[in-house]
Structures are given as structure tokens and as C-alpha cells.
Structure 1
Amino acid sequence: MPISKQAFLTPAEQAKLTRADKAHYMHGYHVFDDHAEQGALNIVAGEGAYIYDADGNRFLDAVGGMWCTNIGLGREEMADAIADQVRQLAYSNPFSDMANTVAIRLCEKLASLAPGDLDHVFLTTGGSTAVDTSYRLIQFYQNCRGKPEKKHVIARHGAYHGSTCLTMSIGNKAADRVPEFDYAHDKIHHVSSPNPYRAPDGMSEAQLLEFLVGEFEDKILSIGADKVAAFYAEPIMGSGGVIIPPDGYLLRMWEVCQKYDILFVADEVVTSFGRLGKFFSSYDVFGVQPDIITTAKGLTSAYLPLGACIFSQRIWDVISEPGQGRCFTHGFTYSGHPVCCTAALKNIEIIERENLLAHVDDVGDYFERRLKSLEGLPLVGDVRCKKLMACVEFVEDKRTKKLFPEALNIGEKIHLRAQYKGLLVRPIVHLNVMSPPLTISRAQVDEIVETLRECILEVAVELQCSGDYAGQ
């Protein structure tokens, strides 16, 4: 549907909204000083892979919203399905002995798509609540099986698992650990990020793999195998910098979990629903059969908020043991919301009907090849890409991999220059991260790569002129 000119604002309207934004709207990851000075980019419309600001400027959204606008924006059939469901049933109590038809159908569909015996689904409101639910489910499961001491969990440094108090504590991304917040430490542990680019000097990828597996097993034994309940892992670490682990890493970590009766939780909030060319990547891409999968984002392609915690028959058999009178006292008012579930079902239908997974296989390979052409540029230390998850890491010194001072905010400099040229990439300190819609074309891939190339070269010259970069 063409973007209506009525979506755009006059300068006076824009100024009024900017004042209201600064006065009233606290954003996620709100940077107080920057927001007070600069305000925010006010987005008013979206179509396919493009979004438009209030002034009518168009941007190719290589971030895909936040890893989530998988089928693209502005689809009429999504709007129609959502509107029809609102008219028929806008809400239904999701607790205890009530259900709604759409939620049941979605759970059945998710069970059919998930690998192995992951046949049971708890619907949530997003990714953070899906991971939070998985943690509570693990506690419940261990208590039900008579192992009240088996409650410790292990995750990785640099991981992101959500922004609730608990999930931020399971994740351990340095930029998220601001001193003004408190974090849970009891029973939560971390091992090294599986980042080949940041491996110790002289360590090959094969040696890094052995180190990581050995470190994990040592951590389990130091805690006590009888106390470790679960291992949390994003198949590819997303917000931590698109960390693609060494070949065989996830399978080896899974084998250690099997050895010590530890649940493997695959956090697929980002990697599911097509980002890697599969509905779920744990098994189909990495050969790992998890006990629990958490998902959100691409589940509805961000048309409405929804998440899910999908878990195995083995867990179900324990927690639902007949005659125990148990109640899983956990839930959300908007769990299984019929309108959100309708959006998910229509989204999955579109992915299947348009064969978008095969498209991702093709265009994703092209994206990988084109992005790799940036590796020789100044500032570029590493380019990491698998299908439609990508990251460019910027360094001051390519040989030593030394980072620029954090205060320089190199990722932001390149992002702002790209934004001026009509391209959105996500800045994370020394990184630019990308996760475009699954519908992206080869021509749009070329636009992303060539615009980014221009911006990197321009910023390199700017930093040389200011004395912040010696050049290489």
C-alpha cells in the first residue's frame, strides 16, 4: 500500500512532537544526555524493507526493526487478518481452564515446526518473558523430579537473553551491565564467549573449541554437576555482536549437557522464523536437539508482540505427573492473546506460501559474500555474517585488534553517516549490526554494502583528520 502523504508532519507538528517526546517518553535503553540534546528519529510509516520519518525521508532498514520485521512492513493481508480477529474476539482469558481457538491452533503449529519432541508451548508476550518463563519452568521441573538443589544455570559472557531483571542477569553483555542496576548472581554463572575473532593470540579455531568445551565442563564440576540445571545459548549470539561459534561448538556443548543431565536451552528469539533460512536453527542448522526453545520477534514479524517457550515431552511428563495436584502458577494477562496469535499464524502462512526460507538461503549467501568485501577497508577488523545476521566490527589497529576508545563511539559515527544516506544499521559501541527482512532483494543487499563502504571510508578520513586514527 503506498505511503500516504498525510503520514508526514509539518515542521510545527514535528517540533511539538519532539518536545513531547523529550518531556514524556522514556525509551528502551534511554541515553538521557543524548536524548535531551538530540531527541529521537520519529518514524511514521513503513513499507517492505523501508521506513519513513516524519519529514518524509526514506530509510532502508537493514536492522529489520530489532531483528524482527521478517516478512516486511505494511502487508495488507496481515492488517486484514488482525482486524478480522479484533472484530471476532479481541481478548480471551488465558488462565487455567480457559482457552481460545487461535492460541490452540498456534501451539499446534509451533509443535509441528519445532524439532524432535518439543511438543508443548507456553505463550508469552515477547522474548524476555519467554526466557523468564523458561527459567521458572526449569525450577518447577527440578523440584517436581525431586532435585531441589539442581537450580544453577550457565550462560556465556557477552550473551543477551532479555531485559527483565532475571534475563538481564542470565545474559552478561558488558554494555548492558550499568552500575545503576542490580543483577541476580545467585545460581547464575558464565563461561567464555565462543568468539573466534577474539580468541587468545596463537589459538586456532580448533584449539579454541577444545578450550571452550573444557572450560564448560570444568565450570560444571566446580559448581557440582548435581547442582547445574541448564545451559543457555543463542545459536548465534545476536546483540553480543553476531558471534558465530566455531564449527561443532554447539553440538559439543550439548554432549556435555547430556553427560551431566543438564537441560539445553536454545534462545532462538533472533535465530528462529527464517533469519538463518530455517524455522528453527538449533537442529536444522547446528544439529542440536534442545530441551527448550525460546522464541519471539520473527514469530509475528513484529506486527504484534508475542513470544513462546517451547519445551520437550520429557519435561512435560515430569511436571504433569497425574495425581500430584500441581499448578504452574505462572502466566501473563496477554499470554495467548487471540489477535497476536492470529498475526503469528498469518505470518507463518506467508513465510511458507512465499517460500521465504529458500529465498533466505539464496540472498543470505549473497549477503555474506558482499559483506566480506568490506574486510579490506580501513577501520574494519572483522566481518561476521550467516544468512541474514551480520556484524562489522571496527578496530583502531587491525594487527592487534585493538578497539577504539569507547567514548569515540565508532559504531555510532558510521551509523549516523549511513542514516544521512538513507540506510539504517544498528550501532553497538564498536559494532554495526544488521538483520534485514527476509524479503530483501539482491539489489537492496548491494545498496546496504555500498552505502556502508562509503560511510566507513568517509569516517576513516574524518578520524585521520582529527588525529583519532593513524591509518593502516
Structure 2
Amino acid sequence: MAAVRDITSTEMAGAGAQDAVELAKRHLVQPWPFAGSVGAEARALIGAGEGIYITDATGKRLIDGPAGMWCINVGHRREELAKVMYDQAMALSYNTPWYTMNAPSAELAMRIAGHAPGDLSHVFFTTGGSSAVETALRFMQFYNNVRGRPEKKLILSRGGAYHGSTYLSASLNGRPRDRDWMDGADELVVKLSSPDPFRRPKGMSVAAFTDALVAEFRDMVARVGADRIGAFVGEPVQASGGVIVPPEGYLQRIRTICRDNDILYISDEVVTAFGRLGHVFASGEVFGIEPDMITFAKGVTSGYFPLGGVILSERLLEELRRSNHPDAMFGHGLTYTSHPVGCAVALKNLDILEESVLAHTREVAPYFQAQLKTLEELPLVGEVRGMGLMGCVECVADRDSKDPLQLDKDVGKRIDAHCHELGLLVRPLINMCVMSPPLIITREQIDDMVSILREGISRTMDDLRREGVWRG
């Protein structure tokens, strides 16, 4: 394979970059656009990546704080992944999954099942996280139809959740502004409270808050009827909702209620799987639960190829095989299900994770969390929280009321702009900044990241004071 040539700053800042900006404004519709700029917008142009760093169109080198979108787990520009992609494409670039199969998908399913908790032993591959969650929900519907329970279809979700952008998966979302102008299958979804200890009622202990969440769940099942509820879908850590780490024991208690009421527990590990919390899957290793299904994507290929999937319990499949409807068809599939290139890349990515990256993540994560926590010294910061190599800095107008800066909803973007100038890309979420760097990050690079973030927040405080928006 030919050597990969460095991209120079001059090349990045040349006519090609400017052409891309103009072409985007004329032809490219960006994801999550506002109506006032839809189809006429160009965003920050990124042209190169190396390890934990990316390079923008001006040639500025930035720490990739969000790891792309929670996904560049083994870092940018891993030649071994690029080589596998090339080799597999030259051997078999595609096969139809309707009536043929390929070897990489079978091997990957076996290896993924080997890391999954409990009896999760079979894998259905999709194109990403949204289609993985959609598949899990459609399987729940099929499962209950075959078992003669067509009324058992309601889905329990939570405030602060993010589960995707397809119609059914997006209907589960509970983040602010996600659904303001979008339709959804609201008749199928029942929303519960976010398990966010920072936003618990004033004066309530975490233990009492946990009890209240569990009681709410139990009461909802009783009120709606277990015979009508097909599944609960929950992220072990609510990622795009602001890295909400649930109280200890909460997920285990919810799992018990689901099992007692024959409600399928779907653990959405699109973000937390493949190393983000130091293990291939977090459900069992970190939170001590054995779900009925696990959805995954993102880190399964470290973002090098679109791939996702659902891991299914052997019990569920055996119940289908024993049913009185052996000819019932699960009429669901995707053109790129079990894509040979994606599965080959995922196999090599799993090799890299198993060889050293998972252990490194477990070793460096406590330092990452401790260094981020020092940012709570800044008066604009209400809380720093996280787990593994994912963290969130939540800014508030004052710590007593925990007002999320309603006077300036773009405080996260302000911080990101300053950090970009200083050499760091962050993920701004209204009044929050989310960090989930590549898992190969070192202690020294963590120091750099936190130092820049501290300065970016400090500059934002100065801006808000100068503008009279915040007195802090």
C-alpha cells in the first residue's frame, strides 16, 4: 500500500477548500439545519486527521474533543483500518444480504456475541445507530405479533434521551428542541423523567431521587398496563442529553421491573459500546445488567465505515422458533445489512481495541474525569460529570437556582468558538460542552485539552460580563 502523504497547511487553505465552502452553500443540505439557513450553509471545514487531532481549512491543528461524533475511538488515520478497507473492497465490495452472505459478517457476529452479556448471542447488522434502534423496535413489534400480543407495542423512553433520526427512533428522543418542529409516533411512546441527579428536586438526596425514578417507572407500568408495553429503551449513559450518568443501582432496578412485567429491555449502547467506558459493552461490565437487546454503532468501526447493529437474546429467538407461526416473516432489512467492507473494518477495529486500547482507556479514564472536575472552580460551571472517556461541563447562571442560562442559549457555542481558536474542538449543547476524545488520548493531551477548555470558559465569562448578560 502506498505511503499516506501529509496534507500541508497550504493545501488545506487553498482554492480547494474555498470551492468546497461555496459548493456547500449552493448544494449541500447539512444535518439539523435551521429553516432560515437550510441549503445555504457552510460549516467548519475539516480536511485531515491524525491520532487525536484534526486540521481545519486554515491549517489549524485541533484536539478532536468529540472524537468526531463519539466514534473515532482508535483515532484518525489508522493505516491498518484503511488497508483492511481496501483489501476487502478488492476481494468483495458488496453482496446482497437477501439471499447471500459474506464471511466477515459471520465472524464479526461471533466475536461481538462473545463480548455481550447474558444470552445475547445473535447479531443483526444495520447501517448506523438510528437504524439499529429502529431494527430493535421493529423486532419487538414482530416478536409480539408472532406471540399473539398485537396490543403490546408501547415503548417507554425518558427525558434527555437521544435514540436516532429515523421516524420511530426519533420519536423516543427527549432532548430540548429535538421535536419542536418534527412529527413523531407519539401514540407509541410513553416518556419518563431523565435520571439526572444534577436536576433532582432541591433538598432531595440522590438515594431518594433514585427511589422516585423507580417508583415513577413502576407506577407508569401499572397505569398504562404491562400488557400494552412492549419495550423500554435506555442509554446506560445519556450521551447527547448531556452525559447523564444515572444513580447507582437505578438501571438494575429498572431491569428487574421490565423482567417481572415481560417488557423487553433494550440497552442503547450506540455511544457507550466499543471502549467508551473501557469495555466492549458497558451494560454488563459497568452497570451489571443483562438486557434483551443491545444496539450499537459508532465505535464498532471507529467511524471509518457506517455500521451498526442489534444483539438479540437467544431466548427471544427460541420463543419465535417454537411459535405456532413458523412462516411469519420479519419483513425488515437494509441494502447494506452485513456489509462486507464494514464488517471487515470492524473486525480489525476490535483487534486494536482488544490488544491495548480498552486497557488504556480504563487506565487513563480516572485522570480524565479528575482533570475535567477541576473546571468546577469556575463560577460559570454548575457541574462537571462523566464516566470513562465521556464528560460534560454544564454551565449555569448561578449554582443555587441551576438556571441553564436562559438569557444566552448559545453559551456552549461561545465556549466552542474560543476553544477552536485555542486549538480544541468541543461539542456544544446549548449551555453544555461535551467531551469524548479518541480513546488513545494520553495524560499530557488530557492536560492540554482541559487547559484550553478552562481558558475558553474563562473568555466566555468575560464576554458575558462585558455584555451584561451574566454577573457571575
TM-score between both structures, scaled by the size of structure 1: 0.96
Which residue is equivalent to 1:266? 267
- How far the C-alpha of 1:178 sits from its partner, in A, is 2.4
Q: Secondary structure at the match of 2:363?
A: helix
Q: 2:83 aligns with which of 61, 74, 80?
A: 80
Q: Distance in 1 between matches of 2:61 and 2:37?
A: 23
> Is 1:134–2:136 an aligned residue pair?
yes
Alignment CA distance shift 1:309-1:435 (3 Å): same
Distance 2:284 2:87 in 1: 35
Matched to 1:220, the amino acid is V
SS in 2 for 1:374: helix
Shift in Å, 1:160: 0.2
Contact between 1:8 and 1:53, CA under 8 Å: does it hold in 2?
no
* Equivalent position of 2:219 in the other structure: 218
Structure 2 distance, partners of 1:279, 1:14, is 37
The CA distance in 1 between the partners of 2:210 and 2:16, in whole Å, is 56
Counterpart of 1:12 in structure 2: which amino acid? A
The 1:37/1:83 distance shift into structure 2, 3 A limit, reads: closer
- The equivalences for 1:360-375 within 5 A come to 360-375=361-376
Q: Which letter does structure 1 place at the counterpart of 2:219?
A: D
Is the aligned partner of 1:13 residue 2:20?
no
Pick closer, same or farther for the CA change 1:452–1:161 going to 2, 3 Å: same
Q: 2:86 aligned with 1:93, yes or no?
A: no
Give the Cα separation in 2 of the matches to 1:203 and 1:188.
Answer: 28
Equivalent residue runs for 1:44-443 within 5 Å: 44-95=47-98, 97-179=99-181, 181-321=182-322, 324-353=326-355, 355-405=356-406, 407-443=408-444
* Equivalent-residue separation in structure 2 for 1:38 and 1:22 (angstroms): 5
For residues 7 and 30 of structure 1, do their structure 2 counterparts lie closer, same or farther at Cα, with a shift above 3 Å needed?
farther
The equivalent residue for 1:29 is 32
SS at match of 1:255: helix
TM-aligned CA distance change 1:35 to 1:370, over 3 Å? farther
Counterpart code for 2:304 = Y
**Alpha carbons of 1:377 and 1:35: their partners in 2 closer, same or farther (altered >3 Å)?**
farther
Aligned-partner SS, 1:393: strand
2-side partners of 1:17 and 1:124: how far apart? 30
1:354-400 CA-to-partner distances (Å, cap 9, x unmatched) read x2111111111100000110112021001011110100000011111
CA contact (8 A) 1:140 1:319 kept: no
How far apart are residue 4 of structure 1 and its match?
A: 2.5
Separation in structure 2 between the aligned mates of residue 63 and residue 310 of structure 1, nearest angstrom: 26
Determine helix, strand or coil for the equivalent of 2:273.
coil
Tell me the amino acid that sits aligned with residue 167 of structure 1. S
**Which has the larger displacement, 398-407 or 235-244?**
398-407
- Could you tell me which amino acid in structure 1 is paired with residue 170 of structure 2? M
**Does the residue aligned with 1:219 lie in a helix, a strand or coil?**
helix
Whole-Å separation in 1 of the counterparts to 2:451 and 2:256: 42
Q: Deviation of residue 15 (structure 1)?
A: 2.6
Q: Deviations over 1:50-97 (max 9, x none)?
A: 1111221111001000000000010111111110001000001111x3
Q: Separation in 2 of the partners of 1:206 and 1:38?
A: 47
**Offset at residue 36 of structure 1 (A):** 7.8
Contact 1:378/1:457 (8 A) holds in 2:
no
Q: Is the 8 A contact 1:306 1:340 kept in 2?
A: yes
Structure 1 contact 165–184 (Cα < 8 Å) conserved: yes
- What's the secondary structure of 1:449's corresponding residue? helix
Among all aligned residue pairs of Structure 1 and Structure 2, give the percentage whose two residues are the same amino acid.
44
**Contact 1:22–1:35 (Cα < 8 Å) also in 2:** no
Quick one: distance in 2 between partners of 1:11 and 1:19?
13
Secondary structure (helix, strand or coil) at the match of 1:123 reads strand
Q: Within 2, Cα distance between the matches of 1:285 and 1:254?
A: 14
1:226 alignment partner, SS class: helix
Q: How big is the shift at 1:148?
A: 1.4
What displacement does 1:34 show? 6.0
Cα distance in 2 for partners of 1:34, 1:27 equals 10
The aligned amino acid for 2:112 is: L
Q: Give 2:471's aligned residue.
A: 470
**Kept in 1: contact 2:159–2:193 (CA 8 A):** yes
Report the 3-state secondary structure (helix = DSSP H, G, I; strand = E; otherwise coil) of the residue aligned with 2:457: helix
Write the distance in 2 (CA, Å) between the matches of 1:386 and 1:34.
36
Q: What is the aligned residue count? A: 468
Matches of 1:406 and 1:327 in 2, distance apart?
A: 53
> How far apart are the structure 1 equivalents of 2:94 and 2:409?
48
Q: Distance in 2 between matches of 1:10 and 1:311?
A: 48
1:457 paired residue number: 458
Q: Which moved more, 1:44-53 or 1:127-136?
A: 44-53
Mapped contact 2:154–2:188 kept (Cα < 8 A): yes
- More moved, 455-464 vs 335-344: 455-464
C-alpha separation in 2, matches of 1:54 and 1:315: 50
- CA deviation map 1:99-153 (0-9, x unaligned): 1111111111111111111011110000000000000000011111221111111
Of residues 319-328 and 277-286 in structure 1, the stretch that sits farther from structure 2 once superposed is 319-328
In the alignment, residue 80 of structure 1 is paired with which amino acid? K
Question: How far apart, in 2, do the equivalents of 1:299 and 1:392 lie?
Answer: 26
Which consecutive unaligned segments of at least 5 residues does structure 2 have? none
String of CA shifts for 1:426-456, please: whole Å, max 9, x gaps: 0010110011111010011101111111111
* Counterpart code for 2:243: V
CA separation of 1:6 and 1:371: change in aligned 2, threshold 3 A: closer
How much has 1:3 moved relative to structure 2?
Answer: 2.3
Hey, what's the Cα distance between the residues in 1 that align with 2:395 and 2:141? 41
Q: CA deviation at 1:2?
A: 5.7
